[in-house]
Amino acid sequence: MNMKKLIGFGVLVLLTCSLMASRYPKREMRAVWIATIANIDWPSSATLSSGQQQKEFIELLDLCKIYNMNTVVFQIRPASDAFYASAFEPWSQWLTGKQGNRPDPYYDPLRFATTECHKRGIDLHVWINPYRAVSDVNVNRTSPQHISNIHPEWFITYGKTKLFDPGLPQTREYVTKVVCDIVRRYDIDAIHMDDYFYPYRISGVEFPDDQSFIDYPRGFKASEREEWRRHNVDLIIQQLHDSIKAIKPWVEFGISPFGIWRNASKDPAGSNTKAGQTNYDDLYADILKWEKNQWIDYVTPQVYWEIGKETADYKIIADWWSHNNFGTQLFIGHGLYKLDPEAKEKSWQSADEIVSQVKLNRKHHSISGSMFYSAKFLRKNPLDLQQKLQERLYRYPALAPANDRITPVIPESPQNAQITVSDGRLRFAWEKGENTKSFVIYQFNRWQMINIKKPARIFLTTSNNSVTYLNNELTDPDRYRYVVTAISPTNQESHPVKFYQHN
């Protein structure tokens, strides 16, 4: 081969590798929200037994693995209630049918979720709502132990929803106490909050916070009520961030806001959109300030509109966030729930819309992946979503990305990695080193170089330090070589360690 042909071949190889890396990245957030309020995703009914609930949850996690997802965002506090054993808040009505009733037979769903997620190498972000106390005062019945009954003076009713008054210092202290309890007691990867800060405006109805403004003005004038409201939210975000980091610095604090910060018509720094309500002007959530001050570790705007929508174009909004994340890790939230063969907008009549959105994300270096709303649509598989995602984008597993805002924890490599073949079974076993939360096993053909950068070689992710498979042509250690790496709590990966066959 002459020099020109050799150079041309080398360029072709580089271009092919680059294309493969963009289509199948090894590091990418692939998360799904599991909503519990009103039994949206899990459990499917509040009348299920504990065993049925656990079976459903495992089925959702197994679906996540089929889709090659790596993270779940599990709603554990939808309305100042609990899907875990809380000393401060009652068991959720959407878990047991009646608020305050514990699961019978007893188990702790969050403890169960941490075990089952990590067993599969899935990260667990726990999702709380900071202010909502009663989602519908006309329907929901609270237990005597609910905080709205213990301290009714802390609450405001707006429309049909009862909320903590964001202007009260008692609100900030209480919510922080609840979050700190979760962070201390559970092996979670992140605390996650969605878009419900101040509630979405009800036309013609002013939010009734006159008294708290009078009692706690903090130097703001009457004409500065909106600035005061934004400052209320700033205070709780900063306090939550500082409290989480004081307990476990590696636990991330993420926010999933409404998709539009401000319209450019109101602020030249805003996006070229025409949203009726926005984070800054209506929900009093100044996301950009939180990013700049490093009060949040990641942001996942809910961009639940299609590419080309006149008032809110996905492409324009994703591009805007990619230039306005200020070093905060950025994921995009996608609306799987809109996929429908009879959708009003033609774009949502095909899963190609979601595929195109993910492809657009990957064109932006600052977008590190996606979160999908919500889990039940993985089960429904609307419009062959699973097949299209896997064929075009998610063919191989991907590891959750590390976060530059988190001080990295370096894992020690696994030790004494051995394979044992016995009775038609293949057992992998290794010893766990320091600073480790999970492991990745890679599989290579005997003639292949060991290269853990390629996601196609990922065989398994797990928090266990031993696994057993049937020994067949897909696993046979005479045909394949295996290595194992460790993943730290901050998603750093160790050097690979080879497995040696032990007979």
Segments making up each domain of the chain, as ranges:
23-392, 415-502
Domain made up of 415-502: CATH architecture: Sandwich (2.60)
CB 155 within 8 A of CB 133: yes
Concatenated DSSP letters of 294-354: T--SEE--B--S-TT-SSS-HHHHHHHHHTSSTT-EEEEEEEGGG--TT-SSGGGGSTHHH
Q: Considering the entire predicted model, what is its pTM?
A: 0.95
- The pLDDT value recorded for residue 20 is 55
Task: Characterize 173-201 residue by residue with b for buried, 16 or more Cβ atoms within 10 angstroms of its Cβ, and e for exposed.
Answer: ebbbebbbbbbeebbbbbbbbbbbbbbeb
| Right CATH for 23-392 from 3.20.20.80, 3.60.15.10, 2.10.210.10, 3.80.30.20 | 3.20.20.80
CB 265 within 8 A of CB 274: yes
- The pLDDT value recorded for residue 407 is 97
CA 97 to the chain's CA centroid: 27
Query: Interhelix angle for 314-322 vs 352-362, to 10°?
Result: 20
Q: Which amino acid, one-letter code, is at 199? A: P
CB 279 within 8 A of CB 260: yes
- The pLDDT value recorded for residue 23 is 82
Q: In whole angstroms, what is the distance from residue 369 CA to residue 361 CA?
A: 7
What pLDDT, in 10s, does the model give residues 341-375? Answer: 999 999 999 999 999 999 999 999 999 999 999 99
- Topology alike, domains 23-392 and 415-502: no
Distances (CA, A) of 117 to 66, 252, 258: 14, 17, 27
pLDDT lower than 70: segments of the chain: 1-22, 503
- The pLDDT value recorded for residue 502 is 79
- Who contacts 262 (Cβ-Cβ below 8 Å, separation ≥6)? 269, 270, 271, 278, 279, 280, 281
- The pLDDT value recorded for residue 392 is 96
- The pLDDT value recorded for residue 15 is 36
